[in-house]
Structures are given as structure tokens and as C-alpha cells.
Structure 1
Amino acid sequence: MMVQEKGILSVLLLTAGAIMSFTNFENAFNNDHQRLGLALYGLVWLQMLVGIIRPHRGSNARSGWFFVHWLLGTAVSVLGIINIYTGLQAYGKKTSRSARIWTILFTVEICIIALLYLFQEKWEYIQKQGVILGNEPVQPTEQEISPTHKQKETAEEPC
């Protein structure tokens, strides 16, 4: 499945969820969770539309488009996380039950995801360092040897 098709499928699933929310719950939009959710719904649709009108590679508009698409995606991700916390607070107010355990569990989940994201960023670098258990140490390449170290080696050799 192509990336664009996955994006459209995601928006269709989001739309189905929004329709179910509107029909099954009281949505007076009188709390932060509901208002932020509605804003997120609009941003996701905007993100999809921006993705569909993507300029071709090499086009002058491509870098501006990329920045807007990246910014929208990042905003949706961050605001979505915030909206889960506001939803947990709204749940606590509406039911008079504590959402503390769910807040803690969600925070742990977000921390694990962030650590995995940061770890995957450095995985290739770690492999090149030979620090993964079971691997033999990696010999430095010519590029990793500093120019001053290389000069010292050549200076000691006879002509």
C-alpha cells in the first residue's frame, strides 16, 4: 500500500471515529478535550489535503510544502498527546473517579516511545562502534583516523 493510500485510510478511520463520537456522546464542546479534538480533526484533514497537493521533487515549492507538511504532522502528534491528557482529566471530572493510574501508564508509554525513537536514531552509529554484545570490535577506517595521527605514522617510516 502506498503512503498516500495509508494516509487516506487513516483519515477515513478518523472520520468514522468522529462520527461515532458525535452520535454516541454528548458533544457540547464545553470542555478543552472536546474543543481540542475538533481542532485536531480539522488539522488531520488539512494534513491530508496538503499531502495530496504535494509538488514534484525538484520543484521550487517542494521545500516550503515539506516544511508545512512536517509542521502539521508534528503539531497533530503533540496536540494529540495533550488531548489524551485533557480527556483523562475530563473523565475524572465527569465520573468523579481518579484517572491517575491511566495518566501514569500513558506517561510511561510516551516515555518508552520517545526513548525508542531516540535509540533508533543512533542504532546504526552504535553498530559501527562495535559496542553491541557479541560483536567483535570494529577496526577504525582511514576516515576515522585523525590527520595528525596519520602524519605521525608516516613521519616515522624511513624513505
Structure 2
Amino acid sequence: MARYQSILVATDGSETAGRAVDHAVSLASDADDMVYVLSVAHSRESPMSFGVETLEGIEAAVERTAAEVGEHLGEAAVSGMVRRGRPDDQILAAADEVGADMIVLGRTGSSGLADRVLGGTADRVVRRSKRPVLLIPETGAT
């Protein structure tokens, strides 16, 4: 079985993204492992999905999430990052920059129905990624 030492987990503050963070944490266990917690503020969207009103608020929310992840990682390390742009582009660019072995993200996040009909961030990441992508389904998804 493959060993993933560098994991990028994308979060948008949704419940499904929170479950993705939990899965990323469960995959990282050694002192050499690194988990990168990434949030992307899409230029068209409001930061309100995190319950905040500014980009600085998103940065603070990501830092809190990274700190919570760090508490559960044991020996592995964690780093939080916030980017602005199209989420799939930024997720893939961040994965390349940090040399992630795997990307973990929720299947459906805060964007809702439009992504279900048109194909969302998760679908675009899976199609374009050169590395394994672990998609976490919505609660109750079959």
C-alpha cells in the first residue's frame, strides 16, 4: 500500500470539508508526515461560507483549523494556507508547490446545486490532478 507523507486537504468550511480534514488527519501519523490545510477564497464568492466577512477572517479560520488538526496529529506537522482564485486551479497549484503525495477534499462543499449540475471543484481536481485524490462524500450519501 502507498504511503502518503505529504497531504494537502482543501476546506471551504462546510461539514463535508470538515470530514475531509478528519480523513487527512487519519492518514498522517509519523513524525515525517505533513498535512497542509488549504482554503481558497474564490474571487466571485463571499467569505461568508466560513461565517466571516473578510479574507483575514478566512485566514484566521484556516489557522484555527490547522491548530485543531495539529492537536490530533501526534508527531506529524501541519501548516495552514489561504489563497484567492479559482479553487481547482489553486488546489492543484498548492499541491504542486508543496509536493503533496495526495489531495483530500469533500465531494460537495458550500457551493451547492450549481456544482452538482455543472461539475464542481472536486470533479475538476480529480480530472486534472497528477496525484491521488481522496474524495469524501456528503453525510448520508450513498
Q: TM-score per shorter chain, which class?
A: under 0.3
Q: TM-score, normalised by structure 1?
A: 0.23
Q: TM-score, normalised by structure 2?
A: 0.25
Q: Which has the higher strand share?
A: 2
Q: Which has the higher helix share?
A: 1
Q: Which has the higher contact order (CA 8 A, sep 6+)?
A: 2
Greater C-alpha Rg? 1
